[in-house]
């Protein structure tokens, strides 16, 4: 079976800074894959590469068996056109740390916009679907609120509904709870748990260790642009093999308990 995501020796640098120094991993269809690691370890960049928000310098990166960002033709890799890139991005949904809801649109318009103008769905149908998606993330009746009138947790759940409205094969979460007040984190995690329960393919970059332990199938630890360790969640947290992973988990546990 073709993996949902396959990365082989992916490298990426911003100027002199090597952000990804040869990352290899595969995510199976239906798997919930967690990535943890200190800030600056390259985990967000890796996620952004999967969605072509960044372009990799070298290595192979496949999403659903399709090479990301380029197409192989007469023995050479041709950069995708704007149209092809959009079509490819449509199949992955992205949830950002800072929500990035369209500030000039209501919650419902945020969710319905993609289906209407990218998937060419009739407005009425898109709005009906948008309402039911907002209901599912627990935002009944808040359809006409603008982002500035919603709490951070509510905004992030609108963002999740917006990503799901495109019916993506893979959902990418880039530290979805890092910008939230502590008491708002649980609602968002609950929504994500619910999605995981539906058998969706998800890649989650997070600092929420309990979420990674309880919800993710496999968890990877990244540090300084490298994938240090990757294992089934229970094994990863129960018996981490690498010293660096153990140090990181210990430090994070210490701060959460304090």
Residue 241: burial class (beta carbons within 10 Å; 0-12, 13-18, 19+): exposed
Number of helices (H) and strands (E) in the chain: give both, helices first: 9, 12
Q: Are 170 and 93 in contact (CB under 8 A)?
A: yes
Nearest CA-CA partner of 220 in 2, 5, 1: 5
86 or 253: CB nearest other proteins: 86
Distance from CA of residue 150 to its chain's centroid?
22
Q: Which one of residues 148, 239, 254, 258 is an interface residue with other proteins (CB under 8 A)?
A: 148
Which region, judged by CB under 8 A, interacts with other proteins, from 20-28, 99-107, 207-215, 225-233?
99-107
The answer to the question of residue 100 lying near other proteins (CB under 8 A) is yes
Contacts (CB under 8 A) with other proteins, residues 219-238? none
- Shortest Cβ distance from residue 76 to other proteins (Å)? 23
Q: Which of 131, 138, 147 is nearest to 96 (CA)?
A: 147
The distance of closest approach from Cβ of residue 189 to other proteins in the complex, given in angstroms and rounded to an integer, is 19
Helix residue ranges per DSSP H, 100-206? 107-117, 123-136, 152-164, 182-197
At its nearest, how many Å lie between other proteins and the CB of residue 88?
8
Nearer to other proteins, 95 or 228 (CB): 95
By C-beta, is 151 or 253 nearer to other proteins?
A: 151
151 makes contact with other proteins (CB under 8 A): yes
Task: Verify binding: residue 82, other proteins, rule CB under 8 A.
Answer: yes
Under rule CB under 8 A, residue 162 binds other proteins: yes
Q: What is the DSSP string of 33-79?
A: EEEE--TTSSHHHHHHHHTTSS--SEEEEEETTEESSEEEETTEEEE
CB of 226 to other proteins, least distance (A): 25
Q: Which stretch binds other proteins (CB under 8 A): 11-19, 48-56, 226-234, 239-247?
A: 48-56
If one asks whether residue 144 binds other proteins (CB under 8 A), the answer comes out as yes
């Amino acid at each position: 079976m073709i993996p949902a995501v396959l990365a082989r020796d992916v490298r990426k640098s911003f100027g002199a800074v090597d952000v990804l120094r040869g990352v290899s991993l595969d995510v199976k269809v239906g798997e919930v894959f967690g990535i943890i690691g200190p800030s600056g370890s390259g985990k967000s960049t890796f996620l952004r590469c999967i969605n072509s928000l960044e372009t990799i310098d070298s290595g192979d990166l496949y999403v659903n068996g399709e090479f990301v960002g380029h197409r192989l033709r007469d023995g050479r890799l041709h950069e995708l056109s704007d149209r092809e890139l959009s079509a490819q991005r449509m199949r992955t949904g992205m949830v950002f740390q800072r929500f990035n809801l369209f500030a000039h649109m209501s919650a419902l318009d945020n969710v319905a916009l993609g289906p209407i103008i990218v998937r060419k769905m009739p407005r009425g149908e898109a709005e009906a679907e948008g309402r039911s998606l907002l209901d599912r993330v627990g935002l009944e009746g808040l359809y006409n609120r603008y982002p500035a009138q919603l709490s951070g947790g509510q905004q992030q759940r609108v963002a999740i509904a917006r990503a799901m409205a495109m019916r993506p094969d893979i959902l990418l979460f880039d530290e979805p709870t890092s910008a939230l007040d502590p008491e708002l984190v649980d609602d968002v995690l609950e929504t994500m748990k619910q999605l995981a329960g539906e058998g969706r393919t998800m890649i989650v970059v997070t600092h929420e260790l309990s979420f990674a332990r309880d919800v993710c199938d496999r968890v990877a630890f990244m540090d300084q642009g490298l994938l240090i360790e990757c294992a089934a969640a229970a094994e990863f947290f129960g018996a981490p093999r690498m010293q660096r992973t153990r140090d990181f988990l210990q430090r994070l546990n210490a701060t959460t308990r304090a």
